[in-house]
Chains A and B, each alone.
Chain A
Amino acid sequence: MTATLLTNARLIDPAADTVTDGAVLLRDGFIAEIFDQPDPQVADADRIDAGGAFLAPGIVDIGVKVGEPGDRHKESYKTAGLAAAAGGVTTIVTRPDTGPAIDTPEVLEFIRDRAEDDAPVNVLPMAALTKGRAGREMTELGFLLDAGAVAFTDCDHVATDTKVLSRALTYARSLGALVICHPQEPGLSKGGAATSGKFASLRGLPAVSSMAERMGLDRDIALVEMTGVRYHADQITTARALPALERAKRNGFDVTAGTSMHHLTLNELDVSDYRTFFKVKPPLRSEEDRQATVEAVRSGLIDIIGSFHTPQDEESKRLPFEEAASGAVGLETMLPVLLRLYHSGELELPTLFRALSLNPAKRLGLASGRMAKGAPADLVLFDADKPFVLDRFKLQSKSKNTPFDGARLQGKVLATFVAGTAVYRSA
């Protein structure tokens, strides 16, 4: 395997919280050397001149929905992989909310084979915590772990039977497994298509109080205290939930939290005249909540940002808002969309990549996510300033349901490397 030298790059190191000029040598799938001069002399390496662009650890995206099995017309491993590569995502961590759910080792092995054959990026599967994600019986957590499940989650299905959940968490604890939950009080959030408040009332949409997230998180944290499980909250999107998260971390529980690219960059008013591409789960929040969530990412209280990539076909979105499916595609758009927060001065680049690459890799025990000698050569090279207008029909995903169609964005991925090989080069 030949070596590649990336010269004239601005290196983002999220662990050291720095951006420095330099060059990086990739050899045998790993970062072999990091130079602090922009154009070092290295024998027998292909040289790529980055031309002053940023080089960062590749994004590790936890919570990506691929339509296999069940909804291959919405997204396959091949198209999801291409979208990821085009978006600078080097590892996708897939959701088990497929049809059927990924709740047996057999299904997990099937999708691992599919992913290995088709996707140009790393694919790590998650498995369901309970059979059929129904919250009644735990899955074969041990077998699933042996088969390669990196975490267990029932995705947006919230267990209503706390006893069942507590047993599943206790069992997961004994295996040292990571459990990811969707913090929502299931009764309160039932049927909600928007966040309750002035906007939902004006539009006449069935709404859920933002308090449902706080209540869900409070319950989950109590269960963490009871069982000692390693716990990650998939999306924290409201200001009201943040003090509970802060308390749990201060008390030393093994708790982390994520949030979505959409909740960091959009608010409920973007739904405007019932635009169903803006229907996500949980629903978009108020501007105050958005700002509080951004601040929590900045301070490190929220650890991880994900795209929550959810492909939906046109048919499931071309419906009245209440009936329309939830979710948006995001693998390819996440980086340029989040760069809005960099351009607006809300987040620095190392902070962004701490939440996009370093922290998710750490949480899953991966060696990637770091700009360090010896780390896997999973990297993204991007121009943070290049302006463009997003055209959803040019996305690699099979489904085109992005809320950012027609949006003016700044920042383009120039190249994506997985294990030292370029899996994407911009035209």
Chain B
Amino acid sequence: MRFDQRHLLGIEPLRPDEITTLLDLAEQYVTLSRRREKHSNVLSGLTQINMFFENSTRTQASFEIAGQRLGADVMNMAMQASSIKKGETLIDTALTLNAMHPDLLVVRHPHSGAVDLLAQKVNCAVLNAGDGRHEHPTQALLDALTIRRAKGRLHRLNIAICGDIAHSRVARSNILLLQKMENRVRLVGPSTLIPAGMSEFGVEIYDDMRKGLEDVDVVMMLRLQKERMDGGFIPSEREYYHRWGLDADKLSHAKPDAIVMHPGPMNRGVEIDGTIADDINRSVIQEQVEMGVAVRMAAMDLLARNLRARPTELSA
């Protein structure tokens, strides 16, 4: 069991065995989280700062609960309200925070690569909670854990990722992770929302959702951002729902035991029919939220172990 990362900036730098290590540890945290007494002290004495330059309720809450369950001192900073409005650069913000000696820094930023940039300037472990359209590694890890628990394995599965791939960091991280674990990945969506060069990633691309869902084990839906709906990328919300919204008819092309996933928050009636989202035999959407906390606990635990193994003067 090895995990050699200093930060969790993306899925791209992770080895398959590191992913397995993290998911195995997360299983233990699922068990812990289901007990009445949910507390552990593996992060006690450590300071976790959540820095969100972009609005988020769910991911931020998930990271906050994960840190608190492990005994860290957790602090939230709503960055969109504070210093960037005063003209401070990202690096200055990072240096200011660094002087407060955090141990774990959880960052979300609207620009691709911004979290990498910040990680170069601080001494603590940085967790990427989503950067632009680049990566959202904990989302891909929680999706992987959900799939592994539902399907009993995380390899040789047919998985369809559907919807707005172009603007989705969730899609990128998932494609990378699922391919590292040797699954077949299909992308399904309107060609305006499939980024260029995607076929070179070794994925199959489908415009027709019924064909794209043929015999898949997992259907992963993506959120369609409101601002993409009117005319720019797709003709209209109702045409999108007709062609790429997940309903019972389209889902019937997948394997009978195929699971349905969604990273949330959902637009019912836009990308997914409400009754499918609520179908406890198919939908694992609530389970994904639960796995999110466990995966984030595991990620912070592993990074903290590496942090504690380093000489203290480096983190001073």
Given contacts A319-B90, A320-B117, A321-B112, contact A200 B132 (CB under 8 A): no
Give A202 to B114 CA distance when docked, in angstroms. Answer: 15
- CB atoms of B111 and A323 under 8 A apart: yes
**Looking across the interface, which residue of chain B has its beta carbon closest to that of A195?**
B196
- CB atoms of B112 and A205 under 8 A apart: yes
Given contacts A315-B89, A318-B91, contact A201 B113 (CB under 8 A): no
- CB atoms of A273 and B113 under 8 A apart: yes
- CB atoms of B89 and A203 under 8 A apart: no
Q: Is A313 close to B, CB under 8 A? A: no
- With a cutoff of 8 Å between Cβ atoms, the chain B residues found around residue A142 in the complex are none
- CB atoms of A203 and B113 under 8 A apart: yes
Q: Is B186 close to A, CB under 8 A? A: no
- CB atoms of A274 and B200 under 8 A apart: no
- CB atoms of B196 and A209 under 8 A apart: yes
Give residues 65-96 of B contacting A (CB, 8 Å): 89-91
Give A274 to B112 CA distance when docked, in angstroms. Answer: 8
Q: Is A187 close to B, CB under 8 A? A: no
7 contacts between A and B (CB under 8 A): A197-B196, A203-B112, A203-B134, A205-B133, A319-B117, A320-B117, A323-B111
- CB atoms of A321 and B113 under 8 A apart: yes
Q: Is A199 close to B, CB under 8 A? A: yes
Give A315 to B89 CA distance when docked, in angstroms. Answer: 9
Q: What is the interface of chain B mostly: helix, strand, loop, or mixed?
A: mixed
Q: Residues 315-330 of chain A: 1 if any B CB is under 8 Å from the residue's CB, otherwise 0?
A: 1001111110000000
Q: Is A198 close to B, CB under 8 A? A: yes
- CB atoms of A322 and B112 under 8 A apart: yes
- CB atoms of A197 and B197 under 8 A apart: yes
Give A202 to B112 CA distance when docked, in angstroms. Answer: 10
Q: Residues 189-200 of chain B: 1 if any A CB is under 8 Å from the residue's CB, otherwise 0?
A: 000000111101
Given contacts A320-B109, A321-B111, contact A204 B116 (CB under 8 A): no
Given contacts A203-B112, A204-B112, A273-B116, contact A318 B197 (CB under 8 A): no
> Which 3 pairs across A and B sit closest by C-beta, in order of nearness?
A274-B113, A204-B134, A204-B133
**Looking across the interface, which residue of chain B has its beta carbon closest to that of A274?**
B113
- With a cutoff of 8 Å between Cβ atoms, the chain A residues found around residue B131 in the complex are 204
Given contacts A197-B197, A320-B90, contact A204 B169 (CB under 8 A): yes
- CB atoms of B116 and A198 under 8 A apart: no
Q: Residues 196-221 of chain A: 1 if any B CB is under 8 Å from the residue's CB, otherwise 0?
A: 11111111111101000000000000
Contact of A322 among B111, B169, B198, B200 (CB under 8 A): B111
- With a cutoff of 8 Å between Cβ atoms, the chain B residues found around residue A274 in the complex are 112-113, 116-117
A contact set with B: CB distance below 8 Å:
196-207, 209, 273-274, 315, 318-323
Q: Residues 284-299 of chain B: 1 if any A CB is under 8 Å from the residue's CB, otherwise 0?
A: 0000000000000000
**Looking across the interface, which residue of chain B has its beta carbon closest to that of A194?**
B112
- CB atoms of A207 and B196 under 8 A apart: yes
- CB atoms of B111 and A200 under 8 A apart: no
- With a cutoff of 8 Å between Cβ atoms, the chain A residues found around residue B200 in the complex are 197-198
Beyond A201-B172, A320-B112, list 5 extra A-B contacts (CB 8 Å).
A201-B201, A204-B112, A204-B133, A205-B112, A322-B113
Give A37 to B12 CA distance when docked, in angstroms. Answer: 61
The listed residue with most B CB atoms (<10 A of its CB), out of A273, A320, A323, is A320
- With a cutoff of 8 Å between Cβ atoms, the chain A residues found around residue B198 in the complex are 198, 201
- CB atoms of B196 and A200 under 8 A apart: yes
Give residues 1-55 of B contacting A (CB, 8 Å): 12
Give A424 to B89 CA distance when docked, in angstroms. Answer: 39
Q: Is B135 close to A, CB under 8 A? A: yes
- With a cutoff of 8 Å between Cβ atoms, the chain A residues found around residue B113 in the complex are 203-205, 273-274, 320-322
Contact of A198 among B109, B111, B201 (CB under 8 A): B201
Give A202 to B169 CA distance when docked, in angstroms. Answer: 10
- With a cutoff of 8 Å between Cβ atoms, the chain B residues found around residue A273 in the complex are 113, 116
Q: How close is B179's CB to chain A, nearest CB, in angstroms? A: 12
Give A273 to B198 CA distance when docked, in angstroms. Answer: 19
Give A207 to B194 CA distance when docked, in angstroms. Answer: 13
Give residues 126-154 of B contacting A (CB, 8 Å): 131-135
**Looking across the interface, which residue of chain B has its beta carbon closest to that of A202?**
B172
**Looking across the interface, which residue of chain A has its beta carbon closest to that of B109?**
A320
Q: How close is A316's CB to chain B, nearest CB, in angstroms? A: 10
Give A201 to B109 CA distance when docked, in angstroms. Answer: 18
- With a cutoff of 8 Å between Cβ atoms, the chain A residues found around residue B117 in the complex are 274, 318-320
- CB atoms of B132 and A204 under 8 A apart: yes
- With a cutoff of 8 Å between Cβ atoms, the chain B residues found around residue A196 in the complex are 195-197
- CB atoms of A199 and B112 under 8 A apart: no
Q: Residues 96-130 of chain B: 1 if any A CB is under 8 Å from the residue's CB, otherwise 0?
A: 00000000000001011110110000000000000
- With a cutoff of 8 Å between Cβ atoms, the chain B residues found around residue A203 in the complex are 112-113, 134
Q: How close is B80's CB to chain A, nearest CB, in angstroms? A: 15
Give A196 to B114 CA distance when docked, in angstroms. Answer: 20
- With a cutoff of 8 Å between Cβ atoms, the chain B residues found around residue A323 in the complex are 111
Give A197 to B131 CA distance when docked, in angstroms. Answer: 19
Give residues 209-257 of B contacting A (CB, 8 Å): none
Q: How close is B92's CB to chain A, nearest CB, in angstroms? A: 10
